[in-house]
Structure 1
Amino acid sequence: MSTPSSPAGASPAVSIIVVSADSGASLRECARRALASNVPLQFILLDNDSHDGIPQAIERDHAGDARLRVVYNGANLGFGPAINRGAALASGETLLVLNPDCLLESDSLQRLLDRLEQTPGAGIVGAVVCDEHGTPDPASFRRDPLVGRALRTLFGGHGEGVNISGAIPDAMVQAEAVSGALMLMPRNLFQRIGGFDEAYFLHCEDLDICRRVRDAGGEVWLAGDVRVLHGKGTSSRHRPVFVSWHKHRGMWRWFRKFDPAAHNPLLAGLVWLGIWAHFAAKIPGQWWRLAKRRAARMEAVA
């Protein structure tokens, strides 16, 4: 089977970087769709110690395809650290950070590359990630999670929150942050700002890199007319408390790095208490839902 390729000696237009951690069958479809693109590309899969056999299945599916490279980390390094290792192996002029549960349409990759090229100053271009019903994830188009905004989002109230209300524009629109499920950016910019902050393990590193791109003089844009299915993979469902702990830890790190309110010791202490109280309050429900899923699986096997 022939595959699209770059001219001899030329770099691919884009290096797609995916991190897996027991991500489930959607990862296989993610790779299949990406590698079906006519865009000259490189597909780098960084596996964070999965035990589901899917990365190995992808290697078998695409045996002989020089565009695919699978790296087995042997441990769960976290999302950002794994992406950075993938970026160090990349040869494309552009990097596409892609979640293993994101399924590209046939023209999505080319359209995103066109948007990046046609938008002077763009440092990151995101897409609208949607569930299976076509409902956009609010994280596709959002603001920095400053403490005042976060409180208005959590409890309601007047004024702007983290998520931008209303329908997402069906065009290119500038944003403060886009979803880390799909982020396209020039490789030289990624290298210049030092890639992802590896002190985050999982969650909020996308908010961090969007902020650092803007601080470096780049712009963050959302391609509102590019919609991508984001299926929400299995890794988070299998380890909800683990994932939630790292999410709240990421919130605290972002707050300390970027929110002016962090300079007020009293307010910072209250934010710390609020973050971890919120984490603790979510644990019983997470355990209950996990127990129900396990019971349902056992019934299905019986």
Structure 2
Amino acid sequence: MRPFETKVSILIVGYNSKELIRDCLTSLFLNTSRAELSFEVIVVDNSSDGTAEMVSEHFPEVHVVANLDNRGFGAGNNLAASHASGKYLLLLNPDTIVRSNKALVRLVEFADSNPHAAAWGGVTLLESGEIDPGCYLRLPSLALALKNLFGIHGKSHQLVDRSPTFCGEVEVLNGAYMMVDRAVWNGIGGFDESFKLYSEEVDLCYRIGQTGRPIMMTGASRIKHLAGSGNAFQSTRMLARTRGQMHYARKHFSTPGWIAMGCILWMHAAVRYCIGNVLGCLPKQKKAARVASAYSLIFWQPTKWWHGWNGVQL
């Protein structure tokens, strides 16, 4: 097998996110030395907001792929990967900022020192500097969904609160900052493109886990993640997330299992919608009102997400 000329291919998929991509690429090139790391950047633009033209003008070293239709995050990354030449494929969200001049170097060094793994990730930090709670995830299960319904989170996120020297195995990496072995990616066929948005990285990590190789995370590599770009409580965003969760359940659970998952998701929305409306009537409880609004579509229109992404276009 020929050795890879490029160590890591950085894949960025954008949709109407020109300014985010500009900031992401600026931070990437400012804080990543080609003397230390051989890398290439591939941007797939699913929009018509001038992103492709901006990238070509200001970042001529970036390979831009202008996609004529928006088929989602997974399909966009699959397209980017088809143009990649690196040993590793690094998925990087447009709403991320490479803060440190060693972040990507340390992630690649971590992968090189743990070649038995199939995927590697670093820590993502919110704008406040706090650990992003979506830094890594557990694989979905009915037991986990019930705990979430009742607000029982346990110690599932304590791993990422340790010192920058920690490393460990996780079940699911955040798709905003995830690096996958190219051979493994090719072997499993990349993303399942039937997932349009949300849970596609959960499905990917599940299938990576089926290869028998672990998924690992290091605290030594940390970047900023704007996590939704201020739209965390947007009802359409929550609807898309629930569609993704249901799509995963329908794919991987038994029929009674995915029906039960759908009922739990609806009850989760019902509790937060009702409590949010009650608390939202009180002074200084604007966040509660926003939570109620975010879950309104899930609560009132379950037919919009019950079938997952089947038959739904972006």
- Whether the aligned pair in 2 keeps the contact of 1:141 and 1:168 (CA below 8 Å) is no
- CA-to-partner distance for each residue in 1:38-83, whole Å, 9 max, x for gaps? 22211110111242x33422221123x2xx1111112211000010
Inter-partner Cα distance in structure 2 for 1:151 and 1:14: 39
- Whether the aligned pair in 2 keeps the contact of 1:200 and 1:250 (CA below 8 Å) is yes
> Bigger CA drift: 174-183 or 33-42?
33-42
* 2:119 equivalent among 114, 119, 124: 124
Mapped pair 1:31 → 2:22? no
Equivalent residue letter for 2:293? G
| TM-score, length of structure 1 as denominator length | 0.80
Correspondence 1:42-61 to 2 at 5 A: 42-51=40-49, 53-61=50-58
- CA-to-partner distance for each residue in 1:101-158, whole Å, 9 max, x for gaps? 111121111110000010131111111111112111122133212121122123124x
1:82 and 1:167, CA in 2 relative to 1: closer, same or farther beyond 3 A?
Answer: closer
The equivalent of 2:280 in structure 1 is none
Shift of 1:272: 1.8
> Bigger CA drift: 130-139 or 277-286?
277-286
- Aligned-residue RMSD, C-alpha: 2.7
Equivalent residue letter for 2:254? H
Equivalent residue letter for 2:205? C
Inter-partner Cα distance in structure 1 for 2:239 and 2:70: 15
1:247 and 1:57, CA in 2 relative to 1: closer, same or farther beyond 3 A?
Answer: same
The equivalent of 1:183 in structure 2 is 178
Paired residues, number: 269
Mapped pair 1:269 → 2:259? yes
> Bigger CA drift: 172-181 or 278-287?
278-287
* 1:168 equivalent among 140, 144, 161: 161
1:10 and 1:149, CA in 2 relative to 1: closer, same or farther beyond 3 A?
Answer: closer
The equivalent of 1:231 in structure 2 is 226
- Whether the aligned pair in 2 keeps the contact of 1:94 and 1:185 (CA below 8 Å) is yes
* 1:115 equivalent among 103, 110, 115: 110
1:24 and 1:198, CA in 2 relative to 1: closer, same or farther beyond 3 A?
Answer: same
What secondary structure sits across from 1:109 in the alignment? Answer: helix
| Long gaps (5+) in structure 2 | 274-289, 297-314
1:30 and 1:44, CA in 2 relative to 1: closer, same or farther beyond 3 A?
Answer: same
> Bigger CA drift: 272-281 or 71-80?
272-281
What secondary structure sits across from 2:129 in the alignment? Answer: coil
Shift of 1:197: 0.9
The equivalent of 2:284 in structure 1 is none
The equivalent of 2:245 in structure 1 is 251
Inter-partner Cα distance in structure 1 for 2:185 and 2:216: 16
Shift of 1:220: 0.6
- Whether the aligned pair in 2 keeps the contact of 1:248 and 1:279 (CA below 8 Å) is no
Mapped pair 1:285 → 2:293? yes
Equivalent residue letter for 2:243? R
Mapped pair 1:71 → 2:69? no
- CA-to-partner distance for each residue in 1:189-232, whole Å, 9 max, x for gaps? 10111101111101111111111111111211111222110013
- Whether the aligned pair in 1 keeps the contact of 2:145 and 2:264 (CA below 8 Å) is no
| Long gaps (5+) in structure 1 | 1-8, 289-302
Inter-partner Cα distance in structure 2 for 1:76 and 1:216: 30
* 2:101 equivalent among 92, 98, 106: 106
